[in-house]
Amino acid sequence: MSLEDLGDKGRRAKSERAAAKSGVGAKPTLKTIAELTGLAVTTVSHALADAPQIALETRQRVRKVAADIGYLPDRAAQRLRTGRTNVISLVLDPHEEILGYATSMINGLTEALRGTAYHLVITPHFSDTPQIEPVRHIMRNRMADGIVFTRTEPADERVKLLMENNFPFICHGRTELATAHPYVDYDNYSFAYQAAKKLIAAGARKLSIILPPERFTFAHHLRHGFMTAVREEGIGFETAKGVTLDSKSDDIRDYLFHRMGEPERPDGYICGGEVSALAVMASAYDHRLELGRDIRLVAKQTSGLFDQIRPRVETIYEDLTEAGFLMGKLLLKRIAGPVPIQELQALQTV
Amino acid sequence: MSLEDLGDKGRRAKSERAAAKSGVGAKPTLKTIAELTGLAVTTVSHALADAPQIALETRQRVRKVAADIGYLPDRAAQRLRTGRTNVISLVLDPHEEILGYATSMINGLTEALRGTAYHLVITPHFSDTPQIEPVRHIMRNRMADGIVFTRTEPADERVKLLMENNFPFICHGRTELATAHPYVDYDNYSFAYQAAKKLIAAGARKLSIILPPERFTFAHHLRHGFMTAVREEGIGFETAKGVTLDSKSDDIRDYLFHRMGEPERPDGYICGGEVSALAVMASAYDHRLELGRDIRLVAKQTSGLFDQIRPRVETIYEDLTEAGFLMGKLLLKRIAGPVPIQELQALQTV
DNA sequence: CGGAAAATTTGTAACGATATAGATGAGGCT
DNA sequence: AGCCTCATCTATATCGTTACAAATTTTCCG
């Protein structure tokens, strides 16, 4: 600190003293407003809450002062007193590095939370602990008013736990539990069904689908849609063995490359993710198989990526940003008060 | 709610009553520990803080009880009392949808924060407000103990503001300000330099580079590295006009497609991002230009994506997860206490 | 064994908000 | 005037934690 700073410090007057700490102006509290208006702290609090027993004129005056000095309630104090955290927790598996899957959802979520008092906290779920741990932790320690998570399983423990405790949440994907629960999901059944139909229409004779790990519900949906289509058409099919959408992309490609070198190889692929679709293309390329003639492909598109992929690939779009936005909106609705569960369910159509 | 639920509710006994609210067990506080140990709340607090004036035996006993009942200090109360938020705020421009850029960084950040009391809060910066707004807001209202942001500019207002107020932060990218500040950056100068050299070595005669918007410092670094290389080699060059790495991928491709149809077209491209690299490939493909012969390309790789791109493209890797991890670690170090600034700077080498 | 010093523990207040219950004053009614 | 009602505003306690000052117990010494 220089001499000038010290000199300046000495010269500081009353008004500046309070401002010294933050350098931007001391943080105003209810007390500040109370002093400015000559009212009691309690009155100010009520006025800002728009309580009807406070005179309208007073409410307006308080609101004006609050706005003028840029008052913002202290989250910690509010949280301590009321128990509400004003936090939404997104439980993220760092594994989901899959090309901006999380980013899109986060963008949608922040957009939904925009203008509200809610903050988005990222709670990682590290793979060396059980999946339910972060959820239990958030609930037990009241770390958030609502939870968002993804990759739902048919008998998802998290869903059970949260439902049992009536804790607000929404998940991406459905369970197969008897009890209805809030969710946002993409119609993966239709995706797979339509993808298969497209491939068949384009001349494919034997289809293959690369599925997510079996433990996820949407793997079943994809399989079901796929199977329905191939059975309707009475056409050959298989599912990729030994690799899933979560496998390392090199492993997926190695599997595909190998499979494409065997007899009875599939000539139509359905890919539930962009990376696996690229792996199909890479394998075909490495075998000098021509896309659209030797090998056909329908991919799920979740980013602008495939607009630049050549040769052009048929894709079906899933809007993850919208999914995030929906999850945010529905969760807020649920937090605001009890809502019939069916109003907290959204299925994004293909 | 079923009849059975109601019945169960009626059967609830005293011990369960306290637990009823959370359904997992009432949240233990210092008071709980105080009652269990027969100590005063203050003593327990001090004991857990490992204060030397508390008998060692007592400290151990308290710690044991705390661990047994799964005590976790209430964040709101701690925050209210101490002013520390235990929050790190990542200011994110939803614009950065660029293929998991954010996701990788978030993964690195959460890994760095793992095991600490810090939470990661995503603070969006919506493009209709000035860039400095979220930062000012976080600082003024003490919403976090530290700030992380990206896309640093040469005379970045956020850096100035945060430095002036001595507020802990770290940014991805450097400024050109006289005052040193904490940062994590990737050596984009070397990236561009080496990329150019590679292209020239591979036979390119005229280079082009697609730059980020000029307002970002790393645009200058890239340009500088690029210019140094082309001047050293005395070779033709240009920078993409009218489009940047932030442009819509279709716009980048349209520009490239047009340019590739003109005389004196470049035959070597440097792409600072994966999407723009794909746009180069798409344009070349649409012109039936062969990659590696008519057109050469060096791309920056930040995901596993390009491992599956065919024909194979020369890439240089930037580890964004590591960048996030470094930012987290350095920020924590800074928050813990004053540190010489040069210890808060990291440059990731090519 | 008295008494001071050292070691250990404790009470009180405060952070900023809000729920609850209570206070104040104006006006209306008999 | 006396009493009640209504509209408005206010005091108090509290959430869980920690800083500060103070109280208590133990230790040690002559």
For the domain that residue A297 is a member of, what is the CATH number?
3.40.50.2300
Q: Which helix (H) or strand (E) holds B277?
A: helix B274-286
Round the average pLDDT of chain B to a whole number and report it: 91
Residue B106 placed within a domain: yes
Residue with tokens 């210890």: B343
What the block records as the tokens of A42 is 């309690």
- Helical packing angle, B249-260 and B274-286, nearest 10°: 40
Residue B304 confidence class, pLDDT cut points 50, 70, 90: confident
* Closest Cβ opposite residue A308 in set B22, B94, B253: B253
Domain that holds residue B331: 83-186+321-348
- Rounded CA-CA distance A261/B16 in Å is 64
Distance A45 CA to D1 C1' (A): 39
**pLDDT value at B99 more than 90:** no
Rounded to whole angstroms, what are the CA distances from A120 to A40, A146, B90, B134, B262? Answer: 33, 10, 10, 14, 49
pLDDT of residue B69: 95
Is the domain of A194 the same as that of A270? yes
Is the domain of B99 the same as that of B52? no
Is the domain of A159 the same as that of A215? no
pLDDT tens profile A178-205: 999 999 999 999 999 999 999 999 999 9
Q: Which residues in chain A land under pLDDT 70?
A: 1-25, 96-100
pLDDT of residue B316: 97
- Rounded CA-CA distance A17/A9 in Å is 9
Give chain A positions within 8 Å (CB) of B104. Answer: 97
pLDDT of residue A114: 95
**pLDDT value at B112 more than 70:** yes
Query: Buried b / exposed e across B306-323, counting CB within 10 Å, b at 16+?
Result: bbbbeeebebbebebbbb
Q: Lay out the sheet containing B236-239: strands in order across.
A: B236-239, B206-210, B268-271, B296-301, B314-317
* Closest Cβ opposite residue A100 in set B72, B100, B308: B100
pLDDT of residue A16: 34
Residue B2 placed within a domain: no
Q: Which residues touch strand D (CB under 7 A)?
A: A 38-43, 46, 53-56, 58, 77, 80-81; B 27, 29-31, 41-42, 45, 48-49, 71, 73-74, 77-78, 80-82
Angle at A324 between CA A319 and CA A329, to 5 degrees: 125
Is the domain of B225 the same as that of B341? no
Is the domain of B314 the same as that of B192? yes
What the block records as the tokens of A307 is 């607009």
B 86-145 → A contacts, CB under 8 A: 92, 94, 96-104, 106-107, 110-111, 114, 119-124, 126, 136, 139-143
Whether residue B212 has a cis bond before it, omega within 30° of 0: no
Round the average pLDDT of chain A to a whole number and report it: 91
Residue B78 placed within a domain: no
B 179-198 → A contacts, CB under 8 A: none
pLDDT of residue A96: 60
Is the domain of A200 the same as that of A286? yes
Residue B7 confidence class, pLDDT cut points 50, 70, 90: very low
- Helical packing angle, B56-69 and B41-48, nearest 10°: 90
CB atoms within 10 A of CB B329: 19
pLDDT of residue A25: 61
Please tell me the distance in Å from B231's CA to the nearest CA on chain A. Answer: 32
Residues near A128 by beta carbon (within 8 Å), at least 6 away in sequence: none
What the block records as the tokens of A103 is 């980013």
For the domain that residue B37 is a member of, what is the CATH number?
1.10.260.40
What value does the mean pLDDT take over residues B132-161? Answer: 96
Is the domain of A101 the same as that of A117? yes
- SS3 at position B96: coil
Q: Domain count of chain B?
A: 3
Residue A7 placed within a domain: no
Percent of chain B with pLDDT over 70: 91
Residue B8 placed within a domain: no
pLDDT tens profile B243-268: 999 999 999 999 999 999 999 999 99
Is the domain of A212 the same as that of A294? yes
Residue B166 placed within a domain: yes
